[in-house]
Amino acid sequence: MQLTAPAAGRTEAPARTRDADGMAVASFILGLLGLLVLNLFLGPIAIALAAVSLWRGTARRGRAYLGLALGVADLAVLLIAIQVSNTVSWSL
């Protein structure tokens, strides 16, 4: 709880870093989930979240890179499934 006004000249870098860390973790989770379901939607979202979190300077660079790789893998799995089944949807 803050009872006084913030100091002049103080930036919100910790909040921005915390947001970027959250985006890196979300990118990783969505990329991992996208390997199983909805890879057409979750793959690009994971890629975008990873790119934004890296651009904002996240402290969790490893998770952001994993989210980026998993997002690309989501789209690769979708393309392979399309080639094998000749449809946009696939099932096991």
pTM of structure? 0.75
pLDDT digit string, tens, across residues 39-65: 889 999 999 999 999 998 888 888 999
Q: Which residue has the higher pLDDT, 3 or 18?
A: 18
pLDDT digit string, tens, across residues 15-42: 666 788 888 899 999 999 998 888 889 9
pLDDT digit string, tens, across residues 65-80: 999 999 999 999 989 8
Q: What is the DSSP string of the chain?
A: ---SPPPTT---HHHHHHHHHHHHHHHHHHHHHHTTS-HHHHHHHHHHHHHHHHHTT-S-HHHHHHHHHHHHHHHHHHHHHHHHHSSS----
